[in-house]
Structure 1
């Protein structure tokens, strides 16, 4: 059946990339309508985050030929979102961002299938993320980026020469904005540096001395953090503060106003309270649009090979005009996340429970509340309760037996790790070698593959 005029118009710019050759195309690129059809049919993209950048990403991907999209976000729409998160309206306040964003794009772009997920990224099973061809990140949290990065790198497998197996590489496209500045990057686990390889790019979060908060506040932020970090515990007797609970946030705001009035400090607003407590980064709609366009183009290049991908980090500074710069960062060969895995030597008699205890004490790992997976099989899961009960009997069994009596293999560990004095979700890949088993060489014991 011939394409309608509107369909041709919609694919006109896409066809310029997919239907003709070029000098910068990938080695396997073959122009033709089949490539466009494959993009529609087989590409599956997960957009993580439905905020300012996530809204733009969802729209750009839908208009770039991607038909099978899913979006995940745990937040609900707030009035303060409306100035830059263009898919939302005043009547949407209080509704889940993921659901409303998916609905709005579906209303405007025909032929696209978008599945929303209103939940935390940690609530999904690891195998959920393996169903996608590309993962696009529109996040404002370092911890969330680290988690998704670890998930994607967890699917990576290495051959006997420590070269990544191409079919196990899960590409990620990451974007971030702050005011008139932004970045776009391509992460090919095992090939380019992963998020953890370049964690040093992010400056440490600003922390205020407690003595300043308690005795000599000088700014509105000091008053807010006093209410958040000191006053809340004094009044609520250990009750956990939930930054996503509007009642909790309003309480902190009211207390911060009282504190500011006491010391004659202006500037405490509800919006600022949210920004300080949740470490919200200021965002501008135009910057989100620029960075989203760069990320969507990289996703298209990865899927089609119509051009070489970004190598591998782009920075944008709108404060200096349309200033962009591409930087090629180098992969950390000793990275705990995207490398072949942390080598650990174990006795064949060690039980699963003993391994879990050892992970908590190992200074290189320090993983608490560990769950263990081997070749997709749950050896032990801390949660949910039904899985914990089903796998509890494995704790007393030797790990060697649970792993099928192989001399060496990879296990995946999820749990909690300490970072910047905070407990965060983490995933680690461990290369387990059992001592005294035939087939284990001196090179294995020395750290070779």
Structure 2
């Protein structure tokens, strides 16, 4: 009878042409593989493939986080789910499927947002693999893992606190894999320039002369939502999507426009690009391949970016360089230049619209004093500062601490008044 791990043994019990020079295969590496605790973020198109690949590659201790439930539209590519699973949590359903099929593999599900966990949770994992479909959550995860990194008295990273992040993403026939080592090389934030800007419709068009279903949905998700809600629109919350869908449908009917659906509304809100199952399979396999190499050290790993272009079967790799002014991995304090006669509300709008920061709802403190809080009881106490000029609240060269839900840790910016 063929040994269950025969194919794995060929990779880790002997040296190969792509192994490190001093690599010597050993049963110890198989034990390390079986015991390695791996965290998977997302149980969607990429996540289902990643979980399957990990389980079949010898990983036996896997955790998965996903806040979503299964929709009928997921079934064409998220193969761990069937029709009877619709409306069930993705994380729980995927975990049960894997454990039913792969003997000895334990998958622990977490049906919640990634922001529900603190440093003590994330610090227990050897590697984190991300299969997320939104940039905000990936930025948050990147910053969280970097915050876990500790340094010695000479300023050198403590390798025992470094948790690699393997980030996978797919967009139609294209996909990419990033291997990020906090404290070494570029982080996810350094690579933000690689993401194309989201499609935006001219406000005059969607307000006055909508011509298609997308215009109606965009109007409902921006203008109508913002006029009636204080909280941010979340494409993963059913009630939010339902509100946008109903308002968009009403608007479409008044302009004799067809094509507004719930699924299309969610697609516009989340800026979803149609998924291709084969791309998901290839990118997920590449992610798990990198995870396997990092855990067993049986081969050189990616340094640090791979792009796959499926419509012409082209793949290339290159190294992203670290940004010296990165918000997450740079030690420099970012200087923020602004006219001192500007009002605080103008500064906040600038922080939200800046292409580098991309903050959602910043709160600001300075030298232990609350300048503005975006939510909660402190908003009522601090919103009077919104109309004050900056020179009334800050001194030139003073630092401000900015907190935002897109970042797990505070951001420190130095105020520089434009002379």
Q: Report the TM-score when normalising by structure 2.
A: 0.79
Aligned to 2:403: 416
Aligned to 2:44: 51
Matched, 1:111 2:104: yes
Matched position secondary structure for 2:327: coil
Matched position secondary structure for 1:174: strand
Q: 1:262 aligns with which of 254, 260, 269?
A: 254
Matched, 1:292 2:284: yes
Q: 1:219 aligns with which of 212, 218, 232?
A: 212
Q: 2:317 aligns with which of 318, 326, 349?
A: 326
CA, structure 1 residues 34+221, in 2 after alignment: closer, same or farther (shift >3 Å)?
same
| Distance in 1 between residues matched to 2:169 and 2:334, nearest whole Å | 33
Give, in angstroms, the shift of residue 28 of structure 1: 5.7
Give, in angstroms, the shift of residue 82 of structure 1: 1.0
Q: 2:363 aligns with which of 351, 368, 373?
A: 368
Give, in angstroms, the shift of residue 191 of structure 1: 1.5
CA, structure 1 residues 140+16, in 2 after alignment: closer, same or farther (shift >3 Å)?
same
Aligned to 1:253: 245
Q: 1:427 aligns with which of 401, 404, 409?
A: 409
| Distance in 2 between residues matched to 1:54 and 1:415, nearest whole Å | 32
Aligned to 1:202: 195
Aligned to 1:351: none
**What are the Cα deviations for residues 362-390 of structure 1, in whole angstroms up to 9, with x where unaligned?**
x99996378xxxxxxxxxxx9xx9xxxxx
CA, structure 1 residues 149+232, in 2 after alignment: closer, same or farther (shift >3 Å)?
closer
Q: 1:164 aligns with which of 128, 133, 157?
A: 157
| Distance in 2 between residues matched to 1:55 and 1:124, nearest whole Å | 22
Matched position secondary structure for 2:407: strand
Contact preservation (8 Å) 1:193, 1:332: yes
Contact preservation (8 Å) 1:196, 1:337: yes
Aligned to 1:338: 329
**What are the Cα deviations for residues 55-110 of structure 1, in whole angstroms up to 9, with x where unaligned?**
11111011111111000011111111111111111111111111001000111111
Q: Where does structure 1 lack aligned partners over 5 or more consecutive residues?
A: 345-359, 371-381, 386-412, 418-422, 431-449
| Distance in 1 between residues matched to 2:135 and 2:66, nearest whole Å | 15
Aligned to 1:23: 17
Aligned to 1:438: none
| Distance in 2 between residues matched to 1:226 and 1:44, nearest whole Å | 45
CA, structure 1 residues 172+245, in 2 after alignment: closer, same or farther (shift >3 Å)?
closer
Aligned to 1:444: none
| Distance in 2 between residues matched to 1:244 and 1:24, nearest whole Å | 42
CA, structure 1 residues 111+145, in 2 after alignment: closer, same or farther (shift >3 Å)?
same
Q: Report the TM-score when normalising by structure 1.
A: 0.74
Matched position secondary structure for 1:56: helix
Q: 2:132 aligns with which of 132, 139, 163?
A: 139
Aligned to 1:12: 6
CA, structure 1 residues 221+190, in 2 after alignment: closer, same or farther (shift >3 Å)?
same
Q: Where does structure 2 lack aligned partners over 5 or more consecutive residues?
A: 336-347, 366-372, 377-399, 413-419
